[in-house]
A and B are shown apart, each in its own frame.
Chain A
């Protein structure tokens, strides 16, 4: 059974700091891994998708890495800004019809 874990559950940093969010999964047989952002009361916004054959994917100040063998992914945010404050979720498709298995999320707060 696939399980996805995100650590830490919450993180508070000062503006400008570089930070890393962690995601781990128990079954390494994944097609891809997707990172999302969720603002309070809103839907999920797709940030990055890494295919199983890729090691990294970049979009602006965001860089996601994937190590299937160790069952880990990290989301690196460079030069954090207060607007980055949100909950970040990672997810992998598993089993039935592309069902996504989500981690519990990391709630990020960037202080001005």
Chain B
């Protein structure tokens, strides 16, 4: 089945650690996105990529990094510079920009 797979579903990070969230899609979509969801704040864009080997900062990119070496994959690293990383992270993709977006099932990151 085509879709977007995020892993892991739950992730725990210790203070000062970097952690990487995986996002893989087999929809042959060019565009991929990372959003963060916090209670009462809705979804906010972290990074997006319109094509392989290219990505752009979103509204809240500080403390995060991404790579887009393959069309299917868009991993997100939450670095130790992100002071408040506890949140629900959602990956999305679309055929091109401004077309229908599809989301993964999310990764819940908690700082312990």
Contacts and interface: CB of A to CB of B under 8 A. Distances in A.
A binds B: yes
Interface string A26-50: 0000011010100001111110010
B42 A46 contact: no
Nearest to A105: B42
B100 A34 contact: yes
Nearest to B94: A98
Contact-residue size bin, chain B (C-beta under 8 Å from the other chain): 20 to 34
Interface residues of A, number: 23
Contacts, number: 66
Interface string B49-87: 010000010110000000000000000000000000000
Contact of B108 (A41, A45, A46, A96): A41
B43 A102 contact: yes
A33 to B, nearest CB: 11
A100 interface: yes
For the complex of A and B, 10 pairs with smallest distance between CB atoms: A98-B97, A44-B103, A43-B105, A31-B98, A43-B103, A49-B100, A93-B98, A102-B43, A43-B106, A98-B98
Interface of A: 31-32, 34, 36, 41-46, 49, 89, 91, 93, 96-100, 102-105
Interface of B: 4, 6, 31, 33, 35, 42-43, 45, 48, 50, 56, 58-59, 88, 90, 92, 94, 96-106, 108
